């Protein structure tokens, strides 16, 4: 069992959680993820590390309540335990001094962008972060990003309730057009990563994306997470989650993400009927 040692509600549907998992914490790197089961009969759900401490023996992650398991997890409190945590999984984000990089975090993808931006800055890069959300309430980790040694933090919301009004692709386009970045990394919903990669490509800026296909075992055995990259089949869990955004078949990714949508809705509706909270 893995004890919950930290919980913070960041917005109506977004939570930060810390779990005691010393062996996982010792090996975690930016861009990697783990698979959790809330109970011994629960489904396996992947989450990316947003932070960790090898000394403290804990890992942190940020999740959005989107369906049955994340709904159930949102009711776990400090002192409760989840059944298992397996990781770290996936290849860490490649971190080296590449020069000037834009790290784009959209929605809950900001949680993944945070350790990446920190590692890129620590490696000597000039890092500009573009932090995006649908509205101010859904904007997460702004203060944490502000505390990093960034070149600039650009905040964007769809409705203009915080920062610039619009989509994250607008500042990305400006940075690329002005020749102010050599690389980009985009983490967020598939549709956002698709347009970030396309915008970067128009300006000949390489763009890495962190993919989130449906995963089951996380070890390359089940094939659930297969994605097409440059015409080749890759497994998100062992070949990724980071891939060359120019080469990803995003249409296929998005259609595969929707395969179980009816079952997922039914499972959440069933769980919600027996749940005292209101979503
Ligand atoms: C490598 C990776 C890292 C991720 N990191 C985070 C994170 O840090 N924070 C976060 O909020 N979410 C993250 N996700 C997505 C998270 O795993 C899903 O939100 C979660 O599994 C939803 O489960 P549910 O039962 O609550 O919702 P459901 O109703 O079952 O599903 C809602 C949606 O979540 C996605 N999903 C469902 N099951 C899985 C699965 N087994 N694997 C992947 N996606 C699934 C699908 O797009 C689905 O339509 C990550 C996914 C991957 C693959
Ligand atoms: S999740 Fe099974 S092969 Fe990747």
Preceding omega of 241 cis (within 30 degrees of 0): yes
Count of residues in the chain: 279
Contact 252, 226 (CB under 8 A): no
Whole-number Cα distances in Å, 66 to 147, 249, 264: 29, 24, 10
The pLDDT assigned to 278 comes to 56
The pLDDT assigned to 256 comes to 85
Classify residue 225 as left (phi > 0), alpha (psi -120 to 50) or beta.
alpha
Question: If we measure between CA atoms, which residue out of 145, 107, 108, 115 comes closest to residue 128?
Answer: 145
In angstroms, rounded to a whole number, what is the distance separating the alpha carbons of residues 240 and 43?
22
Task: Tell whether ligand 2 has an atom less than 6 A from the beta carbon of residue 214.
Answer: no
CA 259 to centroid of ligand 2, rounded, Å = 15
Indicate which residue's Cα is closest to atom 3 of ligand 2.
220
Could you write out the DSSP letters of every residue in the chain? Answer: -EEEEEEEEEETTEEEEEEE-HHHHHH--TT-EEEEESSTTSPPEEEE-SEEETTTTEEEEEEE--SHHHHHHHT--BTBEESEEEEEESPPP-----SEEEEEEEGGGHHHHHHHHHHHHHTT-EEEEEEEESSGGG---HHHHHTS--SEEEEEETTSSSSEES-THHHHHHHHHTT--SEEEEES-HHHHHHHHHHHHHTT--EEEE-----SSSSSSS-TTEEEETTEEEEHHHH-SEEETTTB-HHHHHHHHTTTHHHHHHHHHHHHHT-SS--
In the CATH hierarchy, which top-level class contains the domain 2-89?
mainly beta
CA 217 to centroid of ligand 1, rounded, Å = 13
Spans of all domains in the chain: 2-89, 100-210
Task: Tell whether ligand 2 has an atom less than 6 A from the beta carbon of residue 221.
Answer: yes
Structure tokens at 92: 């860490």
Residue ranges lining ligand 1, Cβ < 6 Å: 33, 45-48, 61-64, 66-70, 108, 111-112, 212-215, 241, 257, 261, 264, 268
In angstroms, rounded to a whole number, what is the distance separating the alpha carbons of residues 121 and 140?
19
Which atom in ligand 2 lies closest to the alpha carbon of residue 214? 1
In angstroms, rounded to a whole number, what is the distance separating the alpha carbons of residues 179 and 29?
30
In angstroms, rounded to a whole number, what is the distance separating the alpha carbons of residues 264 and 108?
19
Q: Which residues pair with 33 in a beta bridge?
A: 48, 89
Right CATH for 100-210 from 2.60.130.10, 3.40.50.80, 3.40.50.1220, 3.30.1360.170: 3.40.50.80
Residue 139: how many CA atoms within 13 Å on its side-chain side?
Answer: 23
Backbone angles phi, psi at 174, to 5 degrees: -60, -45
The pLDDT assigned to 104 comes to 97
The pLDDT assigned to 11 comes to 86
Structure-derived torsion over alpha carbons of residues 232, 237, 240, 242, reported in degrees to the nearest 10: 120
**pLDDT tens per residue across all 279 residues of the chain:** 899 999 999 888 899 999 999 999 999 998 899 999 999 888 999 999 989 999 999 999 999 998 889 999 999 999 999 999 999 999 998 888 889 999 999 999 998 899 899 999 999 999 999 999 999 988 999 999 999 999 999 999 999 999 999 999 999 999 999 999 999 999 999 999 999 999 999 999 999 999 999 999 999 999 999 999 999 999 999 999 999 999 999 999 998 878 777 777 778 788 887 777 755
Contact 21, 85 (CB under 8 A): yes
Question: If we measure between CA atoms, which residue out of 104, 74, 71 comes closest to residue 10?
Answer: 74
């Amino acid at each position: 069992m893995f004890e919950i040692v930290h919980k913070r509600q960041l917005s109506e549907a977004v939570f930060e959680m810390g779990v005691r998992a010393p062996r996982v914490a010792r090996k975690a790197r930016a861009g990697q993820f783990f698979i959790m089961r809330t109970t011994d009969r629960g489904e396996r759900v992947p989450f990316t590390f947003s932070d960790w401490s090898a000394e403290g023996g804990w890992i942190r992650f940020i999740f959005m309540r989107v369906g049955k398991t994340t709904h159930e997890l949102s009711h776990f409190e400090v002192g409760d335990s989840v059944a298992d945590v397996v990781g770290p999984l996936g290849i860490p984000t490649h971190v080296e001094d590449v020069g000037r990089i834009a790290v784009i975090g959209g929605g809950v993808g900001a949680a993944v962008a945070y350790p990446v931006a920190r590692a890129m800055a620590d490696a000597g890069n000039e890092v500009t972060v573009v932090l995006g959300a649908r509205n101010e309430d859904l904007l997460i980790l702004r203060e944490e990003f502000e505390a990093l040694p960034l070149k600039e933090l650009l905040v964007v919301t769809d409705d203009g309730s915080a920062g610039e009004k619009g989509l994250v692709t607008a500042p990305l386009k400006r940075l690329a057009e002005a020749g102010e970045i050599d690389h980009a990394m985009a983490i967020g919903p598939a549709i956002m990563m698709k347009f970030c990669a396309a915008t970067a490509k128009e300006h000949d800026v390489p763009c890495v994306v962190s993919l989130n296909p449906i995963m089951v075992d996380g070890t390359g055995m089940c094939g659930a997470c297969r994605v097409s990259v440059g015409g080749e089949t890759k497994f998100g869990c062992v070949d990724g989650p980071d891939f060359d955004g120019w080469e990803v078949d995003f249409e296929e990714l998005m259609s595969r993400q929707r395969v179980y949508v009816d079952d997922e809705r039914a499972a959440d509706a069933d769980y919600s009927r027996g749940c005292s909270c209101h979503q």
